[in-house]
Amino acid sequence: LHILEHLRNMYGEELHRMRILLIHTGGQSKRLPSHSALGKLFALLPIDSAAEFQMFDLKMAMYSPFLAKMKAGVFLTCSDDIETYTLPLLENSSRSGQWSFDGSGFTALAHPSPVSVGLTHGVYVLPKEVQSATTCVTTECLEVLQKPTEKLMRDKGAVFEKGGDGKEEFAYTDSAFFFDCSVVDKLIKFYTQIKPVTQEIDAYRDFLQLLGRHSRSCVSQAGGGGAGDQLGVQQILQDCKLHVVVLPLSRFYHLGTMQEYIDNLCFSETFAEELQTCRFVHSKLIHLEACKATNISGVVMRSLIHSRSTVPHSTVVECCRFEVPVKLGDMCILSNSRVEHLAGRVVEVPGKAIIFTVSVKSDTCKGYVTLAFGIDDDLKTAARDARELSYFGKRLGQLEDCKLVICDSLFKTSSAASTLWEAKLFSVKPTMTEAFLSTVGLVQAVLQNVPQVNEEKSIVKMSMDDVLRCKDIGELLRHQNTIFN
């Protein structure tokens, strides 16, 4: 809402003649924290091409074919998903189905997904004739279901059969959507009346939830399903129309969590085929011995790696410089890290971990922090008793009993509840190598229940929350630009 108001202030009435691609961040990337500092939109993708591909580049390429069918308005998408699709040639569109973004109000993309995927996404209830669609077509939407149960999907008629034999069922799920200038005006007017926003407004839940022919008849009974600002935005949009561009030949990939990131980059054959990915892209090996095979089978992007390193098939390495052999465990994500000037040493990294380094700068310190979390750690869950929080599968209370941490020093004393995101576990170090080794040592100690050697009291400890407040983006980019120097 703030961005729309800012664009109106910048462009005035000219805004009504623009087609705007608006890519929202979706928060602090707590489910994939290696991309929190620079943003998921600028994450690398292992696409086999002459130039590097970031998510931003792919977004621009993915949505450009829609421009020919789009009037002025805003196309809204998030920064951690990828949609692949097949469109009919423009000259054949009259014969193979009409599709466009010309309708008033909202026009959303719909993708066929397994019913299980619909449980965690928005699901569109569409006319029955859509079941036989073999190419893209624009249709009205009857109702939007947000993270529905399977029973609700079936009761509402949102489950379709592929081929009509009942062997394979699917539902049409959400991704990006377009809204025209009439909606832009409504949203800006609403924002000027209520700002500052005091509650989180979700662009999918609160914009689309009450749209559709059947949904509007339920507004008075359901009460809108929101409160405060959420209810307000639902009410101003409830009379808007919602059309859906059905894309039967499409796939939706979400890369927003650590597990999804690994699954798609390392294991998904359809992802690799459709995006033409490569497992070793824009990277180099050093100390390579002739005719000797390497143990590097994971996904490596813009990194310099010692040839005697071990990178398993299920591990992702991006923007790293490892001058010494590193032995990485399974199901790891390593990002923006360096290990230099340690001749004769092999650095071992435990499996099922995400480890990344961020440059920091504040009034009291300057240096580097390497952060590490378990792939299964929940960085968002809050606990009144910090000792109950889980780190690499172990309660902080257990780690305190083993003299690995002191819970009272990990969190601000004023907090009513604590999260792993706010735990001051990680030391600020003068070099990236020292920061990396320090945090890897912490993780190994946690997993093995080995007390750590007490660090000097002058060592500054930071949490993920602290790191984002103090991040030095210029220094982080300098690291990325000098990986091969």
Which CATH code for domain 2-259?
3.90.550
pLDDT, one tens digit per residue, over 254-267 is: 999 999 999 999 99
More confident residue, 309 or 97: 309
How many residues are recorded in the chain? 485
More confident residue, 319 or 451: 319
pLDDT for 220 equals: 38
Distance between CA atoms of 326 and 402, rounded to whole angstroms?
28
pLDDT for 228 equals: 66
Is pLDDT of 197 > 80? yes
State mean pLDDT over 16-29: 92
State mean pLDDT over 33-45: 97
In this prediction the pTM is 0.92
Domain ranges of the chain: 2-259, 279-481
Confidence of residue 218 (pLDDT cuts 50, 70, 90): very low
The answer to whether the CB of 186 falls within 8 A of the CB of 193 is no
Per-residue burial over 149-159, b = 16 or more CB atoms within 10 Å of its CB, e = otherwise = eeeebeebebb
Confidence of residue 410 (pLDDT cuts 50, 70, 90): very high
Cα dihedral sign, 234-237-240-242? negative
pLDDT for 97 equals: 55
Instruction: Provide the mean pLDDT of the chain.
Output: 91
State mean pLDDT over 38-53: 96
Distance between CA atoms of 159 and 151, rounded to whole angstroms?
10
The answer to whether the CB of 97 falls within 8 A of the CB of 88 is yes
* Least confident range of 58-62, 201-205, 257-261: 201-205
Is pLDDT of 153 > 60? yes
pLDDT, one tens digit per residue, over 63-102 is: 999 999 999 999 999 999 999 999 886 555 554 458 999 9
